[in-house]
Amino acid sequence: METLCSALVFPSFRIRTSAFSKCGIRASIAVEQQTSQTKVALLRIGTRGSPLALAQAYETRDKLMASHAELAEEGAIQIVIIKTTGDKILSQPLADIGGKGLFTKEIDEALINGDIDIAVHSMKDVPTYLPDKTILPCNLPREDVRDAFISLSAASLADLPSGSIVGTASLRRKSQILHRYPSLNVEENFRGNVQTRLRKLSEGIVQATLLALAGLKRLNMTENVTSILSIDDMLPAVAQGAIGIACRSNDDKMAEYLASLNHEETRLAVSCERAFLEKLEGSCRTPIAGYASRNEDGNCLFRGLVASPDGIRVLETSRIGPYAFEDTIKMGKDAGEELLSRAGPGFFSR
């Protein structure tokens, strides 16, 4: 159908799948699958099938092809789309159907079973524990971690009239919105891919939404952004903007490929944030935010936050220390222990 290849145009913004259209994706996958019948792929990349997930898989593929001549040959790399439980169940909030592992479980199983060779994930979807027989040794360079505000009627959250509805599936965003703007309402079962959420906004189901700027950049859809929230106004999710690539723990060849792509500064920052999340035993039921970055002195600056879903209670902390693996892990854990102590019993079981 022609509509699959063309952008959907709404009054004030433009929705498209990405720089490579849906038809381009499907055509590429069809070619890869056809090629794989005559030539066995050297490397199979497992990914979800959303436009953003495919953009991340293709970014990984392109980096591998640029770094390794044998992978640049036609048919050497195959993209394998895997539908996860989280993709299938869109009618309920994530917290009600099992949390973040819903977007990785089936891909991890395919990796362990040998159906794929590497798995490409959005790091904020990856649980703090990794399945047995897998490792995640590679993070690509991190994209912009900030959240984007998108609305057809207001320039910012502060400009929304009292009673306006903001759509977000994230309890982290919900709690921080309500903490600063208690007169707003939040529709928390606002799920679907980027294109679906923008369509719901254009239909007037909500008056505004927040999306990760990283995803919009990777899809070349930043023209839809109304404004960008600062880190001070909206602390990002743990590992937001980071891509992680996993392989089997006994697959030295794949580990070698991934080592050539790893961006160590991103890996250390994400490790700090995930240590914080692990200490808090965070899930989709608890609003948690965390961000580590290199400051102007070359040290690691970490900021962490936990909140009640209604935004009434927000606890924050920060740490500064050496930008080295053991130090960043220690900072994350220590910050988590502090907020656990300050929150008190019952805070995380609400």
- Catalytic residue IDs: 125
**Which helix (H) or strand (E) segment is 151 a member of?**
strand 147-151
Distances in Å between the alpha carbon of 109 and those of 80, 106, 256? Answer: 13, 5, 21
Closest CA to 127 of 97, 109, 104, 93: 104
Copy the structure tokens of residue 146. Answer: 């900030």
CB 50 within 8 A of CB 56: no
Give the span between the Cα atoms of 334 and 318, in whole angstroms. Answer: 10
Report the sign of the C-alpha dihedral through residues 287, 135, 55, 78, in that order.
negative
- Say which residue the tokens 């600062």 belong to: 230
Closest CA to 95 of 191, 196, 177, 210: 191
Copy the structure tokens of residue 85. Answer: 């439980």
